[in-house]
Amino acid sequence: MPTALEEQAAKNMFIGFNNMHNLTKVNRMKSEMGLLSDYPHFYSLKMEGKENISLFGRRASENGEFLISSHDKDFTVYGRNYLCTVVPNFLGTRFEIYNFGLEPGYLLNKDIPKDLLPLRKRLGTIEYDSNFFAEKPRSFRVTVTDETGADRFHENLPPKFNE
């Protein structure tokens, strides 16, 4: 059985930084239509040119959080395969990405050593401006928080239309 530090190092490989251009394919599988909804939805992410699926996701409701896991059947928060959470805002135009750490204040027992378990950290933010009339493409921004806590900002390039 791996120690907590070994487990943390393995999880960091999934959500670590790389300075490469990554092409991925995301598949969404809806649940069978129930009484009122077809949720939960399940997602899989596969890197281009790779055979195996890298990440798995689950969204329990239309406005719910996305739980990201390294295993397709285990979406237990704080479990062994739990990697991160993607939290949408009310309108679904801003998504905050948090790592697998515990939320501050989650543990009420003060006898646990301070650095035994990692604390939750924000990894980044994905944000776009909605366009209700489909007249123009949306503007899209990504903020990535590095290991030092500094934010790196990225914006999409404006499209070039045939003129």
Q: pLDDT of 3-43, one tens digit each? A: 777 777 777 776 666 666 667 788 889 888 777 778 899 99
Neighbours of 119 (CB within 10 A): 13
The total of structural domains in the chain comes to 1
Judge whether 155 lies within some domain. no
Q: What is the mean pLDDT of the chain?
A: 78
Judge whether 140 lies within some domain. no
Answer whether residue 136 shows pLDDT above 90.
no
Judge whether 55 lies within some domain. yes
> Which long-range CB contacts under 8 A does 30-33 form with residues at least 24 apart?
none
d(CA 160, CA 8): 43
Q: Could you tell me which residues are beta bridge partners of residue 127?
A: 94, 141
Contacts of 85 (CB under 8 A, 6+ apart): 65, 66, 67, 68, 77, 97, 98
Judge whether 153 lies within some domain. no
Q: What is the pTM of this model?
A: 0.71
Judge whether 44 lies within some domain. yes
Judge whether 26 lies within some domain. yes
Per-residue tokens: 113: 């050593």
Judge whether 147 lies within some domain. no
The conformational region for residue 118 under phi > 0 = left, psi -120 to 50 = alpha, else beta, is beta
Range of the domain at 82: 4-125
Judge whether 133 lies within some domain. no
